[in-house]
């Protein structure tokens, strides 16, 4: 019998890609999405996360969201979980999206706190209670105050911890001390996933279980190496990887996600950088910064092979920072 994420939530740990939605002439490029997903699985990514912020979900129609989830499920064939973004600022619509994602074969749901209408903490709790009662999927809460205008308090997390269906939290605040605090209070009750690439190393050092990464779209092999280092407790290696990535993170911050990552995929893999209004392609100047950062980083275009290797010094068998292999 195949083990599911519902039976074994530990499958929802590790490094996961917040997938872009490729477009061609305003239409979802199904072949490009399947190819991207397969490449990520081959690179060792632990889960695919379609229909999140990076997937431009606010601009997707109902049938488009289902098509994307089905493509990911069909491509994965059970090799890695598919965690579908199903959250909206309407409880009723989120329930409908989550039910549909389950019907499409998703393994879990990533549900953002309601945005724009800025509910109270009581409203947030009731929102997730209603969703949890309507689905058999494991739920990962997505906390991203910079996008939603609301944040989760520790008291709210304490109440949400009473809901068995909620298995994890994706925290995109960038406040790395928060993960240590949550881990201290709630121990292993929640799977804790970084949603902020620039602080993913520190997040995992302080008690995290992995990351849902935007930049992994174009550099999955780098984030797999980061995952492996964190899992092994090799924090020197993890820190080195994170340090080498800083120019890339800085370049990607020059415009709104997912515009930079789509240009990066065009630069590295020849994919279309088309986005849907109100988003627009990055400027020529920003494109130059992104391309320069990626070129300086090194690595191959296909990214299928690891670009790090361990180098030992001759004294006391100490391990030096990783050498970069291009």
Q: What is the 3-state secondary structure (H, E, C) of 171-221?
A: ECCCCHHHHHHHHHHHCCCCEEEECCHHHHHHHHHCCCCEEEECHHHCCHH
> Catalytic site residue 181?
no
Other CB atoms within 10 Å distance of the CB of residue 246: 11
Q: Identify whether 170 is a catalytic site residue.
A: yes
- Which two tokens mark 9? 């939530």
Q: Do 120 and 95 touch, CB atoms closer than 8 A? A: no
Cβ proximity of 132 and 108 under 8 Å = no
Q: What is the distance between the alpha carbons of residues 136 and 222, in angstroms, rounded to a whole number?
A: 33
Catalytic residue of the set 170, 201, 240, 266? 170
Check 115, 142, 201, 240 and give the catalytic one: 142
Cα 183 from Cα 159, distance rounded (Å): 15
Selection from 28, 39, 31, 82 nearest residue 216 by Cα: 39
Catalytic residues: 142, 170
């Amino acid at each position: 019998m195949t083990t599911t994420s519902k039976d074994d939530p530990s499958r929802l740990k590790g490094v996961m890609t917040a997938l872009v939605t490729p477009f061609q002439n305003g239409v979802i490029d199904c072949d490009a999405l399947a190819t991207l997903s397969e490449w990520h699985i081959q690179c060792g990514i632990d889960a695919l996360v379609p229909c999140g912020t990076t997937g431009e979900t606010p601009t997707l129609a109902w049938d488009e969201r289902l098509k994307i989830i089905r493509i990911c499920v069909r491509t994965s064939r059970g090799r890695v979980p598919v965690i579908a973004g199903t959250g909206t600022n309407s409880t009723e619509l989120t329930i409908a999206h989550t039910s549909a994602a389950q019907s499409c074969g998703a393994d879990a749901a990533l549900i953002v706190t309601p945005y724009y209408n800025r509910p109270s903490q009581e409203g947030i709790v009731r929102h997730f209670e209603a969703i949890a009662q309507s689905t058999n999927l494991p739920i990962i809460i997505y906390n991203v105050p910079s996008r939603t205008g609301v944040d989760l308090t520790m008291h709210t997390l304490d109440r949400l911890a009473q809901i068995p269906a909620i298995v994890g939290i994706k925290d995109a605040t960038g406040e790395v001390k928060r993960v240590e605090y949550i881990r201290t209070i709630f121990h292993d009750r929640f799977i804790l996933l970084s949603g902020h690439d620039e602080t993913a190393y520190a997040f995992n050092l302080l008690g995290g279980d992995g990351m849902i990464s935007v930049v992994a779209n174009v550099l999955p092999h780098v984030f797999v190496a980061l995952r492996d280092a964190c899992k092994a407790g090799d924090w020197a290696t993890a820190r080195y990887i994170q340090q080498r990535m800083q120019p890339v993170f800085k370049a990607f911050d020059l415009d709104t996600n997912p515009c930079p990552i789509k240009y990066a995929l065009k630069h590295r893999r020849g994919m279309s950088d088309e986005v849907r209004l109100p988003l627009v392609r990055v400027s020529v100047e920003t494109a130059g910064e992104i391309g320069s950062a990626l070129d300086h980083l090194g690595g191959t275009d296909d990214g299928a092979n690891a670009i790090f290797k361990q180098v030992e010094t001759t004294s006391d068998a100490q391990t030096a920072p990783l050498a970069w292999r291009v």
